[in-house]
Amino acid sequence: MELVLGATITLVILGMIFGIGLAIASDKFAVKVDPRIDSINDILPGANCGACGQPGCNGFAQAVVEGKAPVTGCTVGQNEVAELMARIMGVKFEGRERAVAVVMCHARGIKNKFVYHGVKDCRAAHIVGGGFLGCDYGCLGLGTCVEACKFEAMYMGKDNLPRIIEERCTACGKCAAVCPRKLISIVPTSKMVHVRCKSLDKGAVAKKICQDSCIACKQCEKICPYDAIHVQNNLAVIDYHKCTSCGKCVEVCPNHTIINFARERSLAKHTLTV
């Protein structure tokens, strides 16, 4: 009996010693968390989309506090959230222009090279023989970008091309990331003029494949008063830093490859309200 009692007392004493030791260690080696991380995390949308380049909203909040990410890094929260974060961080807030995704393909009447029976995923289809579409640069139309969008800001049109609902688009870039042909760009909403083609084929070849393709005629380049568009590798490319969206290039484009999105946006809004 005395042996059992002695063992019990010994265990109690050892438990107390270890408990005190753990308490001291936890206090001494505790990782202090900056309270601003929680404050920022509370105002973030919680989308965890990764558009900021961080592993989720909590990772972004920590990066902001550590000075590794700007307060304007959350594309979902946009300027409203950025301003609140700036107040928490005690820094000056400079708003940034809203951006949206734009599909740089307007392909019509393109014949397929072969019948594809594989997985309904653009990335998978692109691997098989470079894609089933007659144009090696055009949209495959399987809707992988639409599936990737967490904000229901995209849908497939009747022409089998993806459409952007700008009011819902957060410019997170997920759709652009999954497109195997890099046909989706994130562009400021103030930029109205876009070249909706990515073909690098020579003019005659491109025209034969797609009636909406850029044929590298350089008419746009010649008429632009701001030196904002140039033909590179058989494709007209816009320098958005110089472009004023004057629309002169749109007027002279023979294949209507260059489009003024002011009209596109108007039609899109009408479609959504009908």
Per-residue pLDDT tens listing for the chain (274 residues): 566 566 667 776 767 777 676 667 666 655 677 889 899 999 898 888 888 888 889 999 999 999 999 988 888 888 889 999 999 999 988 888 889 999 999 887 789 999 999 999 999 999 998 999 999 999 999 999 999 999 999 999 998 899 999 999 999 999 999 999 999 999 999 999 999 999 999 999 999 999 999 999 999 999 999 999 999 999 999 999 999 999 999 999 999 999 998 766 555 554 444 3
- Give the pLDDT of residue 240: 94
The whole-angstrom separation of Cα 274 and Cα 270 is 6
- Give the pLDDT of residue 271: 47
Contacts of 171 (CB under 8 A, 6+ apart): 51, 75, 98, 99, 100, 101, 186
Note whether 35-89 and 191-274 share their fold.
no
Please tell me the CATH code under which domain 191-274 is placed. Answer: 3.30.70.20
The whole-angstrom separation of Cα 176 and Cα 19 is 54
- Give the pLDDT of residue 88: 92
- Give the pLDDT of residue 270: 43
Name the architecture of domain 99-189. 2-Layer Sandwich (3.30)
- Give the pLDDT of residue 234: 97
- Give the pLDDT of residue 5: 62
The structural domains of the chain, with segments of one domain joined by +, span 35-89, 99-189, 191-274
- pTM of the predicted model, to two decimals? 0.78
Nearest to 106 by CA among 219, 242, 259: 259
172, 242 Cβ separation under 8 angstroms: no
- Give the pLDDT of residue 16: 76
92, 109 Cβ separation under 8 angstroms: no
260, 245 Cβ separation under 8 angstroms: yes
- Give the pLDDT of residue 274: 39
205 is written with which tokens? 């070849």
Contacts of 28 (CB under 8 A, 6+ apart): none
Q: Does domain 35-89 have CATH number 1.10.15.40?
A: yes
